Amino acid sequence: MNGIRGVQIAGTGHYLPEKILTNQDLEKVVDTTDEWIRTMTGMKHRHVAAPEQATSDLCVEAAKKALEDANMTPDDIDLIIVGTLTPDMMFPATGPLVQNKLGCRKIPAFDYSIACSGYIYGLSIAKQFVACGTYNNVLVITGEILTRITDYTDRNTAVLFGDAASAAIVTPSEKNKFLGFSLGSDGSETDLLYQPAGGSKIPASHESIDQRLHYLKMEGPSIFRLAVN
């Protein structure tokens, strides 16, 4: 095709697991209070995936709601993009698992891992594919089961994270409805929020498990200063 097409979000959806972990629940396992959590974060509770649920399951539920909102079926989707740092497994990617569970055609599906900013990156990627005419209907999903890498002996992180998934379907539009994106990164600050073990740098071992290196680590005050400055 000639030229650049307009792009829009045709439908959205989200999924929250049924189980709820309240501030009062956390008071029983870590040195904190409901008042402190609400004052510092505004949070009253967070959702927790069931033991039998994996990230792909949460993603599928969010995708179903987005399809319904867009009045589409799985057959309408041309590409699936999944943003997650808690995939079902190291490989295969979560995207193809979602493609299969959702009942889509044998379309391209891939993952990316950019944590908190993942949704913006996903929309940016989808927008380029649709705008240039490579694909028509792109399903963007972000999903996490962070409670499984949260250390509930660490009051700084235990109160913050829950499990959820969100989805959006990006399609062509006569008028472009995306204002733009501003993306960037700073690799010098990666030690402020990370999961030390589980990758090629520190493979899983008895030692890494004993040292609790598979839980996420965060320098809260430094993260706050970085975000607001």
* pLDDT of 220 over the 90 cut: no
Q: Kindly state whether residues 157 and 192 are assigned to the same domain.
A: no
* pLDDT of 143 over the 60 cut: yes
**Structural domain includes residue 1:** no
For the entire predicted model, the pTM comes to 0.94
The confidence score (pLDDT) of residue 156 equals 87
Q: Kindly state whether residues 147 and 68 are assigned to the same domain.
A: yes
Mean model confidence pLDDT for the chain? 95
CA dihedral 196, 162, 181, 187 (to 10 degrees): -10
Q: Kindly state whether residues 109 and 206 are assigned to the same domain.
A: no
Q: Tens digit of pLDDT for each residue in 164-187?
A: 999 999 999 999 888 889 998 889
Residue 205, phi then psi, degrees to nearest 5: -155, 170
Q: Kindly state whether residues 191 and 97 are assigned to the same domain.
A: no
Q: Kindly state whether residues 164 and 203 are assigned to the same domain.
A: no
The enclosing domain of 29 has a CATH number of: 3.40.47.10
**Structural domain includes residue 178:** no
* pLDDT of 3 over the 90 cut: no
Distances 16 to 38, 51, 58, 202 between C-alpha atoms, Å? 20, 14, 8, 32
**Three-class secondary structure of residue 111 per DSSP:** strand
Kindly give, in sequence order, each residue whose CB lies less than 8 Å from that of residue 132, ignoring residues fewer than 6 positions away: 4, 5
* pLDDT of 2 over the 80 cut: no
The confidence score (pLDDT) of residue 224 equals 81
The confidence score (pLDDT) of residue 227 equals 78
C-alpha triplet 171, 177, 179: angle, nearest 5°: 125
List beta partners, residue 68: none
If we measure between CA atoms, which residue out of 126, 125, 141 comes closest to residue 172?
126
**Structural domain includes residue 77:** yes
Q: Tens digit of pLDDT for each residue in 19-35?
A: 999 999 999 999 999 99
Whether the bond into 92 is cis, omega within 30 of 0: yes
Of the pLDDT bands very low, low, confident and very high (cuts 50, 70, 90), residue 56 is: very high
User: What is the Cα–Cα distance from 205 to 212, expressed in whole angstroms?
Assistant: 11
**Structural domain includes residue 129:** yes
Distances 63 to 70, 141, 215 between C-alpha atoms, Å? 10, 7, 28
- What is the number of structural domains in the chain? 2
Distances 122 to 37, 50, 119, 171, 182 between C-alpha atoms, Å? 30, 26, 5, 14, 13
Of the pLDDT bands very low, low, confident and very high (cuts 50, 70, 90), residue 217 is: very high
Q: Kindly state whether residues 203 and 100 are assigned to the same domain.
A: no
* pLDDT of 1 over the 60 cut: no
**Structural domain includes residue 10:** yes
**Structural domain includes residue 181:** no
Tokens of 99: 């493609």
**Three-class secondary structure of residue 113 per DSSP:** coil
**Structural domain includes residue 199:** yes
| Mean pLDDT score, 135-153 | 98
| Mean pLDDT score, 154-173 | 96
The confidence score (pLDDT) of residue 226 equals 81
The confidence score (pLDDT) of residue 148 equals 98
Which residues form the domain of 208? 187-228
Q: Kindly state whether residues 139 and 75 are assigned to the same domain.
A: yes
Q: Tens digit of pLDDT for each residue in 90-134?
A: 999 999 999 999 999 999 999 999 998 999 999 999 999 999 999
Q: Kindly state whether residues 97 and 50 are assigned to the same domain.
A: yes
User: What is the Cα–Cα distance from 195 to 175, expressed in whole angstroms?
Assistant: 42
Q: Kindly state whether residues 152 and 207 are assigned to the same domain.
A: no
User: What is the Cα–Cα distance from 130 to 178, expressed in whole angstroms?
Assistant: 12
Q: Kindly state whether residues 102 and 143 are assigned to the same domain.
A: yes
User: What is the Cα–Cα distance from 142 to 156, expressed in whole angstroms?
Assistant: 24
Residues in the chain: 229
Which of 130, 151, 173 is a domain's end point?
A: 173
**Structural domain includes residue 96:** yes
Q: Kindly state whether residues 165 and 196 are assigned to the same domain.
A: no
